[in-house]
Chains A and B, each alone.
Chain A
Amino acid sequence: MPKPPQPVTPPTFGRFEEIADDTWRVVKRATKRVAPLFALTLSVHGVMPTEVLAQRVPPPTHRGTGGASDLSAQNGSTRPAGRRLARSSAFGALSGAILGTGFYFMSDRGARSNGCQPLDCAIPFLTLSGAIAGLFIGREREAQQRALAPRAGESISFSLAEARVLAAPSYIDVRDSLLAVVSDSGAQLFSAAASPKALRRRAGGLSAMRQVAIAPDRGTILLGTGSALWEANLLSGPATRLADGAVDALATSRDAVLSASGKRLRFTSGVGAASRSDSLELSQAITAIAHDETASAWWVATDSQIVQVSSTEGRLTLTSKVLSLPAGARAIATNGEWIAAALGDAGVIAWRRDGAAADTQNAVRVENEPRFAYDLAFLDGVLYVAGGVDGVFQLSLTPTPRVVGSSRQVRFATTVRAGNGVLWVGDRNRISVVRVTP
């Protein structure tokens, strides 16, 4: 019986069909086997940002190129993001490939594998999913670095020593070897040493403590509260009410005390029979006071200006020096060369002492960073600003005002003082005072 005619298949087409069939089979099998792997990869992407990577927030110790004030160039990194992502993906792919290869050998070159074969399944898909996972992880790390890098200047790392406070510090003052801190829980004294130690609490029970200043020649601590100005001996004894009224600003110099309540300035110097006092009414509410050692005078800030006040022979007089402010000042700091003010969300403004006479054109400003300037202090000619959650900023005022860098080691810096070559910063996040050595 003659054989029925067989369909003639061109060899090339038959080969193509075979290849297509094989490929489709591999794809189907691979999809079936590797789908859980993809799901795992995606879940890694979903979980990583919150549960794993959140613990890996890098400490801000990286020193960038720094120096420039252009925000776009100050993300603390010089390596392009694309290269970092590629490297991360490659690392993931390599890890996947190593796993796949391990599986290849563990399964006796695939002989003991009854499902996903090493060469056509495990290695390619583990490599691929590793690359994807690496990409996601890289993206997340990229986002972290971008978010945590200083927006201006370089990331600075300080040497720190910390002392816990009873409640979030509202205000601090440092003189010689003594550090005073006020919080909602009262006033505390610390030794301003390399390793700060709590010494004693003072004037317990007072409410709404806002200001503190140490008066070294009086041997006392001055406390400004929401209802009065109080004075307590540094060592022992009860506090005495010096003046009534909420204290909005306070500063001391040797045995002199200048405080503000609303628009009124109150001055007291000397003790006992030698005590003298005076007061002065300004046209606007007073927001900050600082004593200027260089000029032996006081700077008093209101919502729109800073005025200089002298206290000669116990009498307060306004001098002719007036500095215009673009916004209300929260704090004033001076050194031999500069007078500077923290303006909250309006940044920092400073005047060179030589040109500080009624000429706002001489003012220099750093406006965008920190986002909110709480307080500031000069240390060795450098201006440091407490920038809230953005940490402590180091500013350079010459030749052009700029942010040199910042450190987020202090997580919520709201108050800063300089003394004995170091900075003291109040941290409202960790409820502590931090000794910062630049």
Chain B
Amino acid sequence: MPFAKGWSPVRVALLFIVALSAASARLSAQAPRLRTPTDSLVRSALERAAAGDTSVALELLERATDQSPRDANALYWRGLMLSRTTALSLTDTPRRFLAGYLLGRANDIDPTNPRYLIELGRIRLKTPMLRIEAERMFRKALAVAQANGDPVQLAEVAFELGTVKERRYLSGRDRYMYTTLNVIFDPIAARARLHYTREFLEHLSQPIENSAQIDRLDAEAMFRRALDALPTHAPSAVALMGLLYDERRFAEMAAVAAPIVALDTASARVLLASGLAAYRTGQLAAAESLFTRALTRFSPADQAELTSLGRISRQSDSVRYAELNADERDRTARAFWEAADPVLSTPENEARLEFWARMAYADLRFTDSDTRQLGWNTDRGMIIARYGEPPVVATFAPTSDADARDAIGRVITVWYYPRTETEFVFTGPAAMNIAFFAGNHRGYAEEQREEAPFLLDNVPAALGVDTIPVQLVRFHGTTPTQSELLVAASIPVAKLYANAEIDRGRLEQSLWVGPLAALAIARRDTVTVALPAPARMSRVWLDTLTAGANYRMRVESRDGALQGAVGRAQADFTMLSNETGRLSVSDLLFADRVSASRALSNTEGRADTRSASIGRWNTIGLVPRGDVTLVQRDTFAVYWENYGLAPDVNGRVTYDVRLIITLEQIARSNGVSRFFGGLSDIVGLSAEGDQQLGLRFERTEALEGRDRVPDVVTLGLGSAPAGRYRLELIVTERASKRVTRTQRQFFIRE
């Protein structure tokens, strides 16, 4: 075929190629408009992941890596997301394998960025059999991060390396060595045999000094390295604080946390750990503030978990607690902590602080990112919340003995509480911060929970609290809506100051009264006590409260400068309701007579029942007794008020009074007398159950517009046996035959 001049075949071919190239270039230019850029896909994927849609995020990332197979960023995010959606198990191996492949490629493409190696190391940590390989990955990443000088990456990788060492330390610390051949700690025997744990720890094993100390030091060095690179790296700070806590280096814990605590956005875990450090150094106000701040930084769900009373209640109570709505739970929690507070007079609630400190400890030592376990939800965390840190901890190395089911390839951890001789045994894999109840110890923990769901026997403020004997007496008030409360306390001053080597003390005495969860100070004063102190000091308070309402009362007496100089009494009660016209009596008031002019004759087993009108208790020379424990041959006055008596046409009221004293239980001092006494009680030979005194008299009195008729009798029980007695009062109105009654327990000692 002839070609025109200048159109040779070569030239035509060249033109064709040029045209094709132009078309291709044009198509290429249009391509970005048709395809989503890889960066955009990654961004969208991260947004979807942040919104919780991981599967769509993974699809987008897969598109991104298919589209740009050499985009290290896309490869990284896809690998990361695949890795993060796996757990420590064999079942996730294919997914982890793919993640590892993607991250490996990313690392090949961009070897100067350590983030791929860090994630590869984390994948190794999640892969059984390959965990040991993780450290090598992290070390490589550390070298790259150091070369880069990026503080964030350096902190990340140093933290991971520190965590590898920390796991080994946690697994090997508190290690005991068997000192007898073929003897292995048996969790079942620990429950079945009395004193097994104590004897095993004392005679069949011995602690290894400095066990896992090297790993601890290495871990500390790594965490410090992370914090040197980035002082606000919260995970490293928490981990380092955990190591410092184990060595009781609380001041150093506070120093580590300081740069993070100063931030408004401080991590909740760091705040919690700082609160723990402050608590252990006795800075209770700072601890409370840090704990409160930490709680607000947790998610609402975690907050509810952390503050739940369920874990420190009996099973049935925890079920009931879980069924409450938020308001009821809050009210219940406030009432619980108010009752649990050993001393209201201090600004802090020591019981609640101890609970928070326990939760902080559980978070600090048992939270594990590998298994996504929260410390306070673990078996060990549960025991910590209920009973505090165990005074004795022992771990035993894994064995290969087929008979020791819980110890095959697992570390046995024994927590021993010597005071109650209680032990809890856990088992878990080595070099992982995981442990579960061993043998039948889960059931045992539940049994213990029913017996003692929450103990504060490790709290100094709660340990030395003495009991103050108190007598509560409720009277009608002067208006129908009011009711009077008399509180008489007998403060054991000598006992409070028994160990004090000071010349004079300052004893603060306070009365707290209020509805449940809203106790408020009603009276407070401080008296100077010259030592040696008198045996007892009597205090009487009178308060006006709402009739018929429920109240809680607390009497406290303390010298804040001394250890254990604290006494308290607490009672929940309902005030009398002032129903007009209803026959009723006040509580019985046990008192001493001090006014000679009003003194009434008394003889053993008899009472004076003179019918002259008398004034109220505080006008007739009665001193209420705080302690209703009497000495044999003691005499005492019993005062009460009658309400709602209907006068006859002459304005007089007539009623019968019966007083019955019953010996409820004889106090026997030693075992032999208790045994034989018990036998004689059964066959009816002893006085137990007998009425020691029955007294009946009639009274007629002019009402003269009064709303109440006071009565007082003086009693003496002679040589009545020591024990617990019940005094019952029955008042019967003659005309209407209406009856009302009340009773009070009292004690007689030899």
Which residues on A are within 8 Å of B, measured CB to CB?
A: 47, 49-51, 54-55, 57, 140, 143-144, 147-148, 168, 202-208, 225-228, 230, 232, 237-241, 344-345, 371-372, 374, 388-389, 412, 428
**B560, A232: Cβ atoms closer than 8 Å:** no
Interface hit among B16-24, B248-256, B261-269: B248-256
CB distance from A245 to the nearest CB of B (A): 11
Q: Which B residues touch A57, using CB under 8 A?
A: 209-210, 213
**A241, B561: Cβ atoms closer than 8 Å:** yes
CB distance from A12 to the nearest CB of B (A): 44
Interface check B499, CB cutoff 8 A? yes
Interface check B516, CB cutoff 8 A? no
At the interface, is chain A mostly helix, strand, loop or mixed?
A: mixed
**A205, B208: Cβ atoms closer than 8 Å:** no
Interface hit among B87-95, B288-296, B500-508, B713-721: B500-508
Q: Which A residues touch B499, using CB under 8 A?
A: 204-205
**A388, B501: Cβ atoms closer than 8 Å:** no
**A239, B503: Cβ atoms closer than 8 Å:** yes
Interface check B172, CB cutoff 8 A? yes
Interface check B282, CB cutoff 8 A? yes
Q: Most chain-B CB neighbours within 10 Å: which of A143, A148, A389?
A: A389
Could you list 20 further interchain pairs (A-B, Cβ under 8 angstroms) beyond the known A202-B501, A205-B500, A344-B252? A50-B172, A54-B209, A54-B210, A54-B212, A168-B248, A206-B562, A206-B563, A207-B561, A207-B562, A225-B561, A237-B503, A238-B501, A238-B531, A345-B255, A345-B256, A372-B252, A372-B255, A388-B249, A389-B247, A412-B248
Question: Given that A50-B175, A345-B255, A372-B251 are contacting pairs, would A204 and B501 also be in contact in the complex, using a CB cutoff of 8 Å?
Answer: yes
Q: Which B residues touch A238, using CB under 8 A?
A: 500-503, 531
Interface check B217, CB cutoff 8 A? yes
In the complex the two chains form, what is the Cα distance from A309 to B503 in whole Å? 32
Question: Given that A50-B397, A54-B208 are contacting pairs, would A147 and B251 also be in contact in the complex, using a CB cutoff of 8 Å?
Answer: no
Partner of B208 from the list A55, A168, A226 (CB cut-off 8 Å) is A55
Q: Which A residues touch B282, using CB under 8 A?
A: 208, 226
**B563, A205: Cβ atoms closer than 8 Å:** yes
Interface check B44, CB cutoff 8 A? no
Q: Which B residues touch A202, using CB under 8 A?
A: 501
Q: Which A residues touch B564, using CB under 8 A?
A: 205, 207
In the complex the two chains form, what is the Cα distance from A241 to B526 in whole Å? 16
Interface check B49, CB cutoff 8 A? no
Q: Which B residues touch A226, using CB under 8 A?
A: 282
A-B contact pairs, 11 of them (CB 8 A): A49-B212, A49-B215, A54-B175, A54-B209, A202-B501, A205-B562, A232-B501, A237-B503, A239-B502, A371-B224, A412-B249
In the complex the two chains form, what is the Cα distance from A238 to B563 in whole Å? 15
**B211, A54: Cβ atoms closer than 8 Å:** yes
**A147, B213: Cβ atoms closer than 8 Å:** yes
CB distance from B561 to the nearest CB of A (A): 4
Q: Most chain-B CB neighbours within 10 Å: which of A50, A51, A208, A345?
A: A50
**B175, A372: Cβ atoms closer than 8 Å:** no
**A227, B503: Cβ atoms closer than 8 Å:** no
Q: Which A residues touch B208, using CB under 8 A?
A: 50-51, 54-55
CB distance from B436 to the nearest CB of A (A): 22
In the complex the two chains form, what is the Cα distance from A202 to B500 in whole Å? 10
Which residues on B are within 8 Å of A, measured CB to CB?
A: 172, 175, 177, 208-215, 217-218, 224, 247-249, 251-252, 255-256, 282, 397, 497, 499-504, 531, 560-565
**B560, A227: Cβ atoms closer than 8 Å:** yes
In the complex the two chains form, what is the Cα distance from A143 to B175 in whole Å? 19
Partner of B249 from the list A144, A230, A241, A389 (CB cut-off 8 Å) is A389
5 A-B pairs closest in CB distance: A205-B500, A345-B255, A147-B217, A207-B563, A204-B501
In the complex the two chains form, what is the Cα distance from A204 to B561 in whole Å? 11
**B213, A54: Cβ atoms closer than 8 Å:** yes
Partner of B252 from the list A47, A51, A241, A345 (CB cut-off 8 Å) is A345
Q: Which B residues touch A227, using CB under 8 A?
A: 560-561
In the complex the two chains form, what is the Cα distance from A227 to B218 in whole Å? 41
In the complex the two chains form, what is the Cα distance from A228 to B505 in whole Å? 12
In the complex the two chains form, what is the Cα distance from A406 to B532 in whole Å? 50
Q: Which A residues touch B247, using CB under 8 A?
A: 389, 412
In the complex the two chains form, what is the Cα distance from A227 to B247 in whole Å? 28
In the complex the two chains form, what is the Cα distance from A388 to B251 in whole Å? 10
**B211, A388: Cβ atoms closer than 8 Å:** no
Q: Which A residues touch B504, using CB under 8 A?
A: 241
**B217, A344: Cβ atoms closer than 8 Å:** no
Q: Which B residues touch A412, using CB under 8 A?
A: 247-249
**B211, A205: Cβ atoms closer than 8 Å:** no
In the complex the two chains form, what is the Cα distance from A179 to B208 in whole Å? 34
Partner of A205 from the list B214, B249, B502, B503 (CB cut-off 8 Å) is B502
Q: Which B residues touch A208, using CB under 8 A?
A: 282
In the complex the two chains form, what is the Cα distance from A374 to B251 in whole Å? 9
In the complex the two chains form, what is the Cα distance from A411 to B75 in whole Å? 50
CB distance from A124 to the nearest CB of B (A): 27
In the complex the two chains form, what is the Cα distance from A374 to B250 in whole Å? 12
**B560, A241: Cβ atoms closer than 8 Å:** no
Smallest CB gap from A168: residue in B: B248
In the complex the two chains form, what is the Cα distance from A311 to B531 in whole Å? 35
CB distance from A400 to the nearest CB of B (A): 22
Q: Which B residues touch A144, using CB under 8 A?
A: 214
Q: Which B residues touch A168, using CB under 8 A?
A: 248
Smallest CB gap from B211: residue in A: A54
**B214, A49: Cβ atoms closer than 8 Å:** yes
Partner of A47 from the list B209, B249, B397, B500 (CB cut-off 8 Å) is B397
Smallest CB gap from A50: residue in B: B172
In the complex the two chains form, what is the Cα distance from A415 to B503 in whole Å? 30
Smallest CB gap from B252: residue in A: A372
**B255, A203: Cβ atoms closer than 8 Å:** no
Partner of B502 from the list A51, A230, A344 (CB cut-off 8 Å) is A230
In the complex the two chains form, what is the Cα distance from A203 to B531 in whole Å? 13
Smallest CB gap from A388: residue in B: B249
**B213, A240: Cβ atoms closer than 8 Å:** no
In the complex the two chains form, what is the Cα distance from A232 to B501 in whole Å? 9
Q: Which B residues touch A228, using CB under 8 A?
A: 561
**B502, A203: Cβ atoms closer than 8 Å:** yes
Q: Which A residues touch B256, using CB under 8 A?
A: 345
Smallest CB gap from A205: residue in B: B500
In the complex the two chains form, what is the Cα distance from A143 to B165 in whole Å? 12
Question: Given that A51-B175, A51-B397, A147-B218 are contacting pairs, would A240 and B251 also be in contact in the complex, using a CB cutoff of 8 Å?
Answer: no
In the complex the two chains form, what is the Cα distance from A144 to B212 in whole Å? 10
In the complex the two chains form, what is the Cα distance from A237 to B531 in whole Å? 12
Smallest CB gap from B284: residue in A: A226
Q: Which A residues touch B217, using CB under 8 A?
A: 147-148
Smallest CB gap from A232: residue in B: B501
Q: Which B residues touch A55, using CB under 8 A?
A: 208-210
Q: Which A residues touch B209, using CB under 8 A?
A: 54-55, 57
CB distance from A386 to the nearest CB of B (A): 11
In the complex the two chains form, what is the Cα distance from A54 to B208 in whole Å? 7
In the complex the two chains form, what is the Cα distance from A59 to B175 in whole Å? 20
In the complex the two chains form, what is the Cα distance from A143 to B255 in whole Å? 28
CB distance from B348 to the nearest CB of A (A): 13
Q: Which B residues touch A204, using CB under 8 A?
A: 499-501
**B501, A205: Cβ atoms closer than 8 Å:** yes
In the complex the two chains form, what is the Cα distance from A238 to B505 in whole Å? 11
CB distance from B224 to the nearest CB of A (A): 8
Partner of B255 from the list A49, A140, A147, A344 (CB cut-off 8 Å) is A344
In the complex the two chains form, what is the Cα distance from A20 to B166 in whole Å? 48
Smallest CB gap from A330: residue in B: B251
In the complex the two chains form, what is the Cα distance from A368 to B249 in whole Å? 17
CB distance from B716 to the nearest CB of A (A): 40
In the complex the two chains form, what is the Cα distance from A143 to B217 in whole Å? 10
CB distance from A131 to the nearest CB of B (A): 21
Q: Which B residues touch A49, using CB under 8 A?
A: 172, 212, 214-215
In the complex the two chains form, what is the Cα distance from A388 to B565 in whole Å? 33
Smallest CB gap from B504: residue in A: A241
In the complex the two chains form, what is the Cα distance from A49 to B172 in whole Å? 9
In the complex the two chains form, what is the Cα distance from A151 to B324 in whole Å? 57
In the complex the two chains form, what is the Cα distance from A320 to B210 in whole Å? 51
**B561, A147: Cβ atoms closer than 8 Å:** no
